[in-house]
Amino acid sequence: MGGFAAYRLVAAMWIRSTLAYRASFLMMLTGNFLVTAFDFVVIALMFSQVRSLGGYSFAEVAFLYGTSTTAFGFANAVMGSIDKLGARVRDGTLDTLLVRPAPVLAQVAADRFGMQRLGRLLQGVLVLAGSLVALDLHWTVLKVLLVPVMLLSGSAIFAAVFVAGAAFQFRAQDAAEVQNAFTYGGQTLLQYPPTVFAKDMVWSATFVLPLAFVNWLPALYVLGRPYPLDLPGWLALTPPLVAAGCLALSGLAWRAGIRSYRSTGS
């Protein structure tokens, strides 16, 4: 069975299962929507006290927030379950997935698939749409095209981070939370303008873990803002390449991880 087919099958099963407790599902969907909505409410509260943050207006920060949350929301909806891999290694249930004739990655990613995760994605899209209305920009064809490209490559970069984090859990099974620093932490970082952070943090987010390609670099081009590190402007157009590179690397890490896997036998 192919990866996509396996994913669809497992995800569909979990969707039916979450719908069994309908009241709880609705609350979880609302909850997922609200948890990110509160993130944005906090930014709105900040702007009720100030006119700019790191030199950026509310609409500009909302644009950063919308692009970061949409990209992350999509990656999280599709791949989010993968962060439970360490638990599966520990309790031995990974073995049942290994003997099935379908790619393990697809099975783990689709496991416990919850439609409530779409709440975050929806919230990101709404804020992004709002910011596009509020922003007063000089749009060019390139900028218009760059927005969907940024969202897709951004999702792919976050997905690669999820896979790499899972690969790491083959070795450090209990260290699942480290992943949150890069996934949820990365999303939080990208919600704010890079001018807010120390130079070496921006440098690391550009060259070490290239989260800056999720939205900072392309978004600053769209907003017509200079990037705080003196980098050539064409880098704003490279997110798809960076995403492809990240996916390739995380795929290799995943293979190395699964090859090193030894069942606990329990």
Partner 1 sequence: MRLYGVVAAGGFRRYTTYRVATAAGVFTNTVFGVIVAYTYIALWNERPHLGGYDQSQALTYVWISQAMLMTVSLFGGGFADEFVERIRTGDIAIDLYRPADLQLWWLSADLGRALFHFLGRGIVPLAFGALVFDLALPANPLTWLAFLVAVLFGVVVSFALRFLVALSAFWLLDGAGVTSLVSIAGMFFSGMLLPLTAFPGLLGEVARVLPWSSLLQIPADVLMGRHQGWGLLGAYGFQLGWATVLLGAGRLLQSAAVRRVVVQGG
| 151-180: contacts with partner 1 (CB under 8 A) | 172-178, 180
- Residue among 25 and 240 whose Cβ is closer to partner 1: 25
Phi/psi for 83 (5° steps) reads: -70, -5
* From 12, 19, 46, 129, residue interacting with partner 1 (rule: CB under 8 A): 46
Per DSSP, the residues of 147-207 read HHHHHHHHHHHHHHHHHHHHHHHHH-TTTHHHHHHHTHHHHHHHHS-GGGS-HHHHHHHHH
* 17 lies in the binding site for partner 1 (CB under 8 A): no
**Per-position x/- string for 72-91, each x denoting binding to partner 1 as judged by CB under 8 A, each - no binding:** --------------------
Q: Does 237 bind partner 1 (CB under 8 A)?
A: no
- 85/105 Cα distance (integer angstroms): 10
Residue 129 makes contact with partner 1 by CB under 8 A? no
Question: Is residue 139 near partner 1 by the rule CB under 8 A?
Answer: no
The reply to whether 206 sits near partner 1 by the rule CB under 8 A is no
CB closer to partner 1 out of 49 and 133: 49
| Residue closer to partner 1 (CB basis): 70 or 187 | 187
Distance CA 80, CA 201 (A): 25
Q: How far apart are CA 219 and CA 30, in angstroms?
A: 29
CB 236 within 8 A of CB 140: no
Q: Which residues are CB-contacts of 139 (< 8 A; sequence separation ≥ 6)?
A: none
Q: Which residues bind partner 1 (CB under 8 A)?
A: 21, 23-28, 30-32, 34-35, 38-39, 41-42, 45-46, 48-54, 172-178, 180-181, 185, 188-189, 192, 195-198, 201
